[in-house]
Amino acid sequence: MDGTGNNSQLTIALAGNPNAGKTTLFNSLTGLKQKVANYPGVTVERKEGVWKVGDRSANLIDLPGLYSLDATSLDEQIARDIITGEQIGVPKPDAIIAVVDATNLERNLYLVTQILEYGVPVVIALTMIDVYEKQEHEIDVEMLSVLLKTPVIAINAKTGRGKEELAAKVAEVLHTKPVIPDIFGEVPEADGDNVKIFARYNFISNAVQESTWHSDQKKHRISDKIDRILTHKFFGLVILVLILLVVFQTIFSWSSLPMDLLEKGFGAIADFVKAEMPPGILTDLIADGIVAGVGGVLVFLPQILLLFLFISLLEDSGYMSRAAFLLDKLMSRVGLHGKAFLPLMSSFACAIPGIMATRTIENRRDRFATIMIAPFMSCSARLPVYTLMIASFFAGQTIFGFVSVGAVLMLGMYSLGIFAAIATAFVLKRSVLKAPPPPFLMEMPPYRMPNLRTVLQNMVTQAWMFLKRAGTVILAISIILWALMYFPRSIQNTEVSSQKTEAVAATEGDRAEADAPPLPESEQIKNSYAGRLGHAIEPVITPLGFDWKIGVALIASFAAREVLVSTLSIIYNVGKDENEESETLISAVRDAKREDGKPTWTPLTALTLMVFFVLAMQCMSTLAVVRRETNSWSWPAFMLVYMTGLAYVAALITFQAGKALGFD
Amino acid sequence: MDIQLLIVIAIITAAIAYGGLTLFRKRRSFSTKGGCGSDCGCSGSSKKLTS
């Protein structure tokens, strides 16, 4: 609908530079909860929501950020196509809200001058005005509106300032034809792009100079002062390492109490089931399969929440862009595009949004190189594996008396992933994906106090995803794994019993077979389907220091990484003999014994397993997304083979070298 | 066949069915690119990059 007066749904697009506050405004107007962060390029797909404009309903589209309408990358192309009405299946917008960051007025208005030329009614939403005023600048919104010949509304999405005014202004402009300011003046049509760019900036500069005042030019901005230290090539890196160490150490210390409580809680549930239900196969499934499998993963919820608390705080404060700046030099040396940082950063939560975020990279080869290395970043699914290993073998140990070994190991695993990614990119960019890295200008958002709502929202979203996964995929896999570890039962009992009681049977007939005592559970699991599979792959994993039980867990973890934890939990519960006491997964891992009586796990085995998990490609969903994003089977197949091959070799080196040095 | 075994068989069947359905959905996302057409501009119906 285009202002003809009928009541069909309006289409309104939110357009603006990356990190101008579009998604915050979108969430505020629609009440939705799209991810928000204080760095550019968070929105790579079109997001839609419903917004009330006067008495009419509008479909509000949150577009990916773009600096111009020249559209050199996929996300910019989508945004441009929607604005111009050329996107198939999306009606041309009835109005555009141009989101403009007041702290970067000139650069943000460049895009606005291009949008105005498309003849669609435009309202400018001026964001970050509070930050702008804190920097001791003033802006005359009305004057700016007059000079641009376009309505300008000052907005604060967090407090709600200007929201109603914005809706009223959008309703008002729907029936008007926009006035296009005379930007080019006497510039002839035939003149080149550079002349037009200059003319645009000249027009914008005049408008900005006439509508803004800077009350204190002498004072250095606080952000600049902080940046001198945080982006220093030496001290910046030292501070980055220290921040990460503090984050990991805090995660371990803060999460230990809730984790213990959860573990005891799930243990109590399993004991309750066994005590209250009649003995039998269903009781075993619930206690040893469902509660042990799902509970084994759920106990890591406190770590997940804390990890995302810190990631959100670092993102929202603006520190992540400084971390990007510090690593950019290294990334560009190996040939990675500067824009690869955000996808790689997103991959620390999950590789899937990270891989989708590579759409901001224009060059196909640069994009594919980033996709190929994104899964090396330690995602949240690896966290339960790292935590289980560290809690089992390195808990309470310190270096210099105060630095936790667990935090150092965790930092080491994250660093190993980054190092593997950089090394892989170095090889790929000099072989199959050869291309010169394009120049990249990085935007440094100003520091700001993290928004509590945004931080909590990110934590709740991640916690919900974790719980949903535990209640669906992990639950289903736990049940199937339990069945594979429990069966075949009666047949195996009969077979083995009949061998054992052959002599007795000869004298007492069939009664002896029926009365033969069942095999101990530890023998039972060895003869189960999973046990047979584990034994079949044992020759391959023995050089890594793993036994067949770890082998079963490794195979299962190729469905999803955290399944390793639930599988070990089920294995040690199902395989527990009647005279063995109930124990937590951590103590079960510590006490597990091989058939020759030696401990299954040592600190070296734990370290080897962690190294394997850093590098192996164990996520079907990631492979599916790589297939979709590359439109090829070769790339996901290549990724699966080279990552898992690399993981095996690195784990082999870790174990054998550790053994040679006497650590086994 | 006792009641516990029957319930266990039902639960395991449901888990396998859920796993199968999830794999089937994954297979679709593995094989198609049409689903992202209007979002990422990379489907066959979308225009080529202009620059």
In sequence order, which ranges of A84-192 are alpha helices (DSSP H)?
A: 105-116, 129-134, 141-148, 163-173
- The shortest C-alpha distance from B35 to chain A (Å) reads 9
Alpha carbons A302 and A420: distance in angstroms, whole number: 28
Model pLDDT, residue A509: 44
Distance CA A510, CA A504 (A): 9
Strands A137-139 and A212-214, bridge-based pairing: antiparallel
Output the DSSP codes for A32-76.
------SSTT---S-EEEEEEETTEEEEEEEPPP-S-SS--SHHH
Q: How far apart are CA A18 and CA A40, in angstroms?
A: 5
Query: CA torsion, points A435, A437, A439, A444, in degrees to nearest 10?
Result: 140
SS3 A14: strand
Chain A contact for B21 (CB, 8 A cutoff): no
Tokens of A596: 């020759």
Average pLDDT, chain A: 83
Which pairs with CB-CB distance under 8 Å and at least 24 residues apart come from A129-134? Answer: A129/A102, A129/A154, A129/A155, A129/A156, A130/A156, A131/A102, A131/A103, A131/A446, A131/A448, A132/A102, A132/A103
Is the distance from CB of A343 to CB of A366 less than 8 angstroms?
no
With helix as H, strand as E and coil as C, how does A267-323 read? HHHHHHHHHHCCCCHHHHHHHHHHHHHHHHHHCCHHHHHHHHHHHHHHHHHCHHHHH
Distance CA B32, CA B30 (A): 6
Is the minimum CB–CB distance between B1 and chain A shorter than 8 Å?
A: no
Asked whether the beta carbons of residue B40 and residue A78 sit closer than 8 angstroms, the reply is yes
Cβ atoms of A150 and A123 within 8 Å: the answer is: yes
- Shortest CA distance to A102 belongs to which of A39, A153, A169? A153
Q: DSSP code of A256?
A: H
Identify the pLDDT of residue A83: 80
Contact: A359, B40; criterion CB under 8 Å: yes
Q: What is the pLDDT of residue A458?
A: 82
Whether residues A77 and B16 touch (CB distance < 8 A) is answered with: no
> What's the predicted TM-score (pTM) here?
0.68
DSSP at A547: -
Q: Please, are residues A200 and A110 in contact by the beta-carbon 8 Å criterion?
A: yes
- Return the pLDDT at A541: 96
Encode pLDDT of A174-218 as tens digits.
878 777 777 766 555 555 566 677 778 788 888 888 888 776 554
Tens of pLDDT, residue by residue over A64-90, are: 777 777 766 666 777 778 887 887 777
Q: A603-615 and A383-393 are packed helices; what angle lies between their axes, rounded to 10 degrees?
A: 170
Mean pLDDT value of segment A279-285: 92
Alpha helices in A318-382, H assignment, sequence order: 319-333, 341-346, 351-356, 364-373
Does A74 lie at the interface with B, CB-CB under 8 angstroms? yes
Q: Collapsing DSSP states into helix, strand and coil, what is residue A379? A: coil
Cα radius of gyration (chain A): 30
Provide, as residue numbers in chain B, all residues whose Cβ is less than 8 Å from the Cβ of A90.
38
Q: Above pLDDT 70, what percent of chain A?
A: 85
Cα atoms in the Cβ-side hemisphere of radius 13 Å centred on A593: 7
Is A13 in contact with A59 (CB distance < 8 Å)? no
Chain B residue numbers with beta carbons less than 8 Å from the beta carbon of A629 are: 42
**The two three-digit tokens of residue A236, written as one number:** 């910046």
The whole-number pLDDT of residue B45 equals: 37
Beta bridge partners of A51: A58
Among the residue ranges A6-15, A116-125, A244-253, A472-481, the one predicted with the least confidence is: A6-15
More confident of the two residues A569 and A205: A569
Cβ pair A609, A651 in contact under 8 A: yes
| Integer angstrom CA distances of residue A97 from A25, A62, A83, A498, A585 | 10, 10, 11, 80, 54
Q: CA-nearest residue of chain A to B45?
A: A88
In this prediction, residue A510 carries a pLDDT of: 47
pLDDT surpassing 70 at residue A441? no
d(CA A234, CA A3): 58
Residue A78 to residue B15, Cβ atoms within 8 A: no
Residue of B nearest to A631 (CA): B33
pLDDT at res. A100: 93
Whether the CB of B26 is below 8 Å from some CB of chain A: the reply is yes
pLDDT value of residue B41: 36
Q: Tell me: the pLDDT tens digits for A478-496?
A: 999 999 999 887 554 444 4
A483 reaches B (C-beta below 8 A): yes
Pairing of strands A95-101, A122-127: parallel
**Cβ–Cβ contact A78 with B under 8 A:** yes
Residue B12 at interface with chain A, using a CB cutoff of 8 Å: yes
Residue B46 forms contact with A (CB below 8 Å): yes
Query: How many residues in total does chain A contain?
Result: 664
For A88, the closest of B7, B38, B50 (CB atoms) is: B38
Token representation of residue A313: 């705080």
pLDDT in tens, A338-381: 778 778 888 888 888 888 878 777 778 888 999 999 999 999 88
H or E stretch at A411: helix A405-429
Residue pairs between chains A and B whose CB atoms are closer than 8 Å: 93
Find chain B residues with C-beta within 8 A of A634's C-beta. Answer: none
pLDDT: is A287 or A186 the higher one? Answer: A287
Neighbours of A397 (CB within 10 A): 14
pLDDT given at position A48: 81
pLDDT at residue A269 tops 80: yes
A655: confidence class by pLDDT, cuts 50, 70, 90? very high
Answer yes or no: do A74 and B40 touch at CB < 8 A: yes
For chain A, say whether B32 makes contact (Cβ under 8 Å): yes
Which residues of chain A have a CB within 8 Å of the CB of B47?
77, 81, 86
Is the pLDDT at A643 greater than 90, yes or no?
A: yes
Measure CB to CB from residue A624 to each of B30, B38, B51 and give the nearest one: B30
Distance CA A473, CA A465 (A): 11
ipTM for the complex?
0.71
Quote the CA–CA distance of A509 and A359 in Å, as a whole number: 74
Answer whether A56's CB lies under 8 Å from A171's CB: yes
Largest CA-CA distance found in chain A, in angstroms, rounded: 115
CB-based contact, B5 to chain A, within 8 Å: yes
Partners of A566 on chain B (C-beta within 8 Å) are none
Tens digits of residue pLDDT in A607-622: 999 999 999 999 888 8
Q: Say which residue, B33 or A265, is predicted with more confidence.
A: A265
Contact A128, A102 (CB under 8 A): yes
A267-to-A221, A262, A468, A568 alpha-carbon distances in Å:
55, 8, 21, 15
Q: What gap in Å lies between CA A491 and CA A493, rounded to an integer?
A: 5
Between residues A276 and A664, the one the model is more confident about? A276
Tell me the three state secondary structure of residue A531: helix
CB of B48 less than 8 A from some CB of A:
no
**To which H or E segment does residue A13 belong?**
strand A10-16
Query: What are the angstrom distances between the C-alpha of A249 and each of A56, A396, A407, A410, A581?
Result: 52, 11, 5, 9, 32
Kindly report, residue by residue over A96-148, the tens digit of the pLDDT: 999 999 888 888 888 888 888 888 899 999 998 887 777 667 888 898 898 88
Measured between alpha carbons, how far is A340 from A366 in angstroms, rounded to an integer? 8
First to last CA, chain A: 72
Distance from CA of A377 to the nearest CA of B (A): 22
The residue type found at A609 is: L
> What pLDDT, on the 0 to 100 scale, is given for residue A439?
59
Q: Is B45 on the interface with A (CB under 8 A)?
A: yes
Distance in angstroms (rounded) separating the CA atoms of residues A64 and A45: 6
Count CA atoms closer than 13 A to A348's CA, side-chain side.
Answer: 19
By the CB < 8 Å criterion, does B33 face chain A? yes
Nearest residue, CB atoms, A70 vs list B8, B38, B51: B51
Tell me the per-residue pLDDT of A385-397, one tens digit each, with 9 for 90 and over.
999 999 999 988 9
Contacts of B18 in chain A (CB under 8 A): 472, 476
Phi and psi at B26, nearest 5°, equal -65, -40
Residue B34 touches partner A, C-beta closer than 8 Å: no
- The answer to whether the Cβ–Cβ distance between B19 and A480 falls below 8 Å is yes
Q: Which of A66, A73, A77 to mutate to test the interface with B (most CBs of B within 10 A)?
A: A77
pLDDT of residue B44 exceeding 50? no
A631 touches chain B (CB under 8 A): yes
The answer for residues whose C-beta is within 8 angstroms of residue A295's C-beta and 6 or more apart is A262, A263, A266, A269, A270, A569
Of A288-302, A399-413, A435-449, which range is least confident? Answer: A435-449
| Contact criterion met (CB below 8 Å) for A380 and A307 | yes
Distance of CA A207 to the CA centre of its chain: 41
How many angstroms away from the CA of A281 is the closest CA of chain B?
6
